[in-house]
Amino acid sequence: MRSDGFLKSLVSFVENGSFREEDYTLSPAQKDALDTDIPENRWLLSVQHSEKPVSARLINWFSHKGVEVFNNLYRIASVFICVTLIGILLSVVSFLPSFGSAENPAVNEVVERYVSKAIQETGTTNAVAGMISAYRGFDTLGEAHVLFVAACSVIVLLRVDPSERKRGRRLNPDRVGGDMDYEPNSDLILRKTAKLLVPLAFIFGLYVILNGTSSPGGGFSGGAIMGAGLILHSVAFGFKRTERFFGDEMYHVIKTACLTVYALLMAYFIYMGANGWDDHVWLGNPGGIISGGLILPINIAVGFEVACTMYCFYALFRKGGL
């Protein structure tokens, strides 16, 4: 019978998140038994005394203090784990070879080949560009496709259909899906600054892309700069002004064209390389703009694709369409 009551109190604990008072106080019958002190009923008293501390009182304590104790333990454990992890990582770092030393395991015949043969084999004075776009071109092709797939999934998730937007406006003029209706009315300072900075960003991005074979940079960096310039333009002057030269159609044409060109060039590289043939590409003069053979068109394609993806992310987040 007591265990039954205990079960009930457990159920009520689960349902209400706390104990009712009658679960661990004496019922009237038990009180009567205690008051009258009938010898036959003494077991009730003993049961009450022996069971209340063990089960009810324990659960009572746990339901009141347990959460607090758990939170304190949780904090102590988290600090302990963090400190231990920091200690382990720092001690591992002290075993690492020093930065840039000649005995590093990373300095092997692969690096030697890149450094000594990059100019003859790829025609780039910037060995990093030669490595990314020529030696490991297949890797970079995969990265470009990752960008493409990411942009596609963002479009699938966030795009607001134009017809839906119109219907939403008719039904509920105040609230429509994207920010399309809230044209950013930016202030004068932002507009004037953007007027100066946007052309600079575009020119600098183009320079980084075109000069990627002979100076630090390349498709990804230059594309990111151009994308940032596009975003700045649309922040400062509104979506409508940006749409005049970079709309939905423009985006799709540039993006697919760039990716196709890139994939075709890489396919040519891979086909010739796999058959052991010489890919009759004029490498240009190292150090100039036209150098690196196929790396320059690859850089241009990657740059424009990255710029498109950057702006696409921003536009979809802001207004649900390009």
Partner 1 sequence: MTLFEGILLAFLIICAISVSVTRNLLASIIIFMGFSLIMSVLWLTLEAPDLAITEAAVGAGVTSLLFFATLKKIHAIKAEDAKREEDDSDEE
Quick check: 214 binds partner 1 (CB under 8 A)?
A: no
Query: What's the CA gap between 232 and 306, in Å, rounded?
Result: 16
Question: How many CB atoms neighbour CB 118 within 10 A?
Answer: 22
Of 29-37, 50-58, 212-220, 248-256, which part binds partner 1 (CB under 8 A)? 212-220
Taking the least distance from each CB to partner 1, the nearer of 9 and 124 is: 124
In whole angstroms, the minimum distance from the beta carbon of 221 to partner 1 comes to 4
User: 48 or 221, CB closer to partner 1?
Assistant: 221
Which of 220, 237, 246, 269 contacts partner 1 by CB under 8 A? 220
Q: CB of 81: closest distance to partner 1 in angstroms? A: 16
Number of residues that bind partner 1 (CB under 8 A): 20
Do residues 298 and 291 make contact, with C-beta atoms less than 8 angstroms apart?
A: no
CA 28 – CA 48 distance, rounded (Å): 13
162 binds partner 1 (CB under 8 A): no
Applying CB under 8 A, among 130, 137, 218, 292 the residue interacting with partner 1 is 218
Nearer to partner 1, 220 or 251 (CB): 220
Stretch that binds partner 1, among 109-117, 191-199, 297-305, 310-318 (CB under 8 A): 310-318
List % helix, strand, coil for the chain (3-state, nearest 5): 75, 0, 25
Helices 188-210 + 295-319 axis angle, to 10: 150
Contact residue for partner 1 among 130, 313, 321, 322 (CB under 8 A):
313
Task: Tell whether residue 314 is a contact of partner 1 (CB under 8 A).
Answer: yes
Q: How far is the CB of 119 from partner 1 (least distance, A)?
A: 18
Task: For residue 60, give every residue at least 6 positions away whose Cβ sits within 8 Å of its Cβ, in sequence order, or none.
Answer: 19, 24
Pick from 141, 180, 194, 231: which binds partner 1 (CB under 8 A)? 231
CA pseudo-torsion sign 284, 285, 286, 290: negative
CB atoms within 10 A of CB 98: 7
The one among 44, 56, 119, 228 contacting partner 1 by CB under 8 A: 228
**Minimum CB distance to partner 1, residue 277 (Å):** 31
Cα–Cα distance for residue pair 193/191, rounded to 1 Å: 5
Q: Is 217 in the site for partner 1 (CB under 8 A)?
A: yes
Rounded to an integer, what distance in angstroms lies between the CA atom of residue 288 and that of residue 321? 40
Shortest spacing between CB 225 and partner 1, in angstroms? 5
Region from 6-14, 77-85, 263-271, 307-315 binding partner 1, contact rule CB under 8 A: 307-315
C-alpha–C-alpha distance, residues 268 and 281, integer Å = 11
Q: Is 310 in the site for partner 1 (CB under 8 A)?
A: yes
- Cα-based distances in Å from 97 to 90, 92, 106, 216: 14, 11, 10, 26
State how far the alpha carbon of 251 is from the alpha carbons of 62, 73, 132, 306, 311, in Å: 61, 54, 25, 11, 9
Q: Would you call 284 helix, strand, or coil by DSSP?
A: strand
Q: Is the sign of the CA dihedral 215, 219, 225, 226 positive or negative?
A: positive
Residue choice 227, 286, 303, 321 for contact with partner 1 (CB under 8 A): 227
If one asks whether residue 221 binds partner 1 (CB under 8 A), the answer comes out as: yes
Query: Which residues of the chain form contacts with partner 1 (CB under 8 A)?
Result: 99, 128, 179, 208, 216-218, 220-221, 224-225, 227-228, 231, 235, 310, 313-314, 317-318
